[in-house]
Copies of this chain bind each other. A is one copy, B any other.
Amino acid sequence: MARLSTELKNDALHRIGEALRSEAQRIETANCEDLARAEESRVPAPLVKRLRFDRNKIEDLVLALNDIAALPEPVGRVRCARELDTGLLLHQVSCPLGVVGMIFESRPDALVQIAALALKSGNAVMLKGGSEALATNRALSEVIETASRASGVPAGWLQLLETRAQAAEMLQLDRYIDLIIPRGSNEFVREVMQSTTIPVLGHADGVCHLYLHRDADPQMAASIAVDAKTQYVAVCNAIETLLVHAEGAEGFLPLVAERLQQAGVTLRGCERTRKLVAAAEPASDEDWGTEYLDYILAVRVVDSLETAMEHINTYGSGHTDAIVTADRNAAEEFMQGVDAASVMWNCSTRFADGYRYGLGAEVGISTAKIHARGPVGLEGLLSYTWRVHGSGHIVADYSGPEARGVTHRELPTG
Which of A's residues lie within 8 Å of B, judged by CB? Answer: 2-3, 76, 82, 84, 88, 90, 95, 97-98, 178-179, 197, 199, 217, 220, 223-224, 226-228, 231, 331, 333, 335-337, 339-348, 350-352, 356-358, 369-371, 373-375, 383-396, 398-399, 406, 408
Q: A224, B356: Cβ atoms under 8 Å? A: no
Which residues of B sit under 8 angstroms from A2, Cβ to Cβ? 336-337, 339
Which residues of B sit under 8 angstroms from A390, Cβ to Cβ? 344-348, 351
**Please, could you name 6 A-B residue pairs with CB atoms under 8 Å apart, sorted by A?**
A76-B336, A88-B347, A341-B386, A343-B387, A345-B388, A350-B394
Q: A370, B336: Cβ atoms under 8 Å? A: no
With A3-B333, A84-B356, A231-B399 known to touch, is A384 a contact of B394 (CB < 8 Å)? no
CA distance A76 to B406 in the complex (A): 29
Q: A392, B223: Cβ atoms under 8 Å? A: yes
With A370-B179, A370-B370, A408-B358 known to touch, is A231 a contact of B395 (CB < 8 Å)? yes
Which of A350, A384, A385, A399 has most chain B Cβ within 10 Å?
A385
Which residues of B sit under 8 angstroms from A399, Cβ to Cβ? 231
Which of A217, A226, A393 has most chain B Cβ within 10 Å?
A393
Which residues of B sit under 8 angstroms from A357, Cβ to Cβ? 82, 84, 90, 386
Q: Which residue of chain B lies nearest to A309 when distances are taken between CB atoms in the complex?
A: B3
Majority DSSP secondary structure for residues of A touching B: mixed
Number of copies: 2
* CB of A2 to closest CB in B, whole Å: 6
Which residues of B sit under 8 angstroms from A88, Cβ to Cβ? 347, 351
* CB of A179 to closest CB in B, whole Å: 7
Which residues of B sit under 8 angstroms from A385, Cβ to Cβ? 335, 340-343, 373-374
CA distance A267 to B414 in the complex (A): 43
Q: Which residue of chain B lies nearest to A340 when distances are taken between CB atoms in the complex?
A: B385
CA distance A85 to B337 in the complex (A): 26
Which residues of B sit under 8 angstroms from A396, Cβ to Cβ? 227, 231
* CB of A275 to closest CB in B, whole Å: 28
Q: B97, A356: Cβ atoms under 8 Å? A: no
Q: Which residue of chain B lies nearest to A91 when distances are taken between CB atoms in the complex?
A: B335
* CB of A337 to closest CB in B, whole Å: 6
Q: A394, B348: Cβ atoms under 8 Å? A: yes
Which residues of B sit under 8 angstroms from A178, Cβ to Cβ? 369-370
Which residues of B sit under 8 angstroms from A82, Cβ to Cβ? 357-358
CA distance A51 to B220 in the complex (A): 61
* CB of A87 to closest CB in B, whole Å: 9
CA distance A95 to B337 in the complex (A): 10
Which residues of B sit under 8 angstroms from A393, Cβ to Cβ? 346-348, 351
Q: A84, B351: Cβ atoms under 8 Å? A: yes
Q: A394, B347: Cβ atoms under 8 Å? A: yes
* CB of A98 to closest CB in B, whole Å: 7
* CB of A190 to closest CB in B, whole Å: 12
Give 11 A-B pairs besides A97-B370, A347-B389 with Cβ atoms closer than 8 angstroms: A84-B351, A90-B358, A178-B370, A227-B394, A231-B399, A345-B388, A347-B391, A347-B392, A348-B394, A358-B406, A358-B408
Residue from the list B84, B383, B392 in contact with A369, Cβ < 8 A: B383
Q: A387, B341: Cβ atoms under 8 Å? A: no
Which residues of B sit under 8 angstroms from A331, Cβ to Cβ? 389
CA distance A226 to B392 in the complex (A): 12
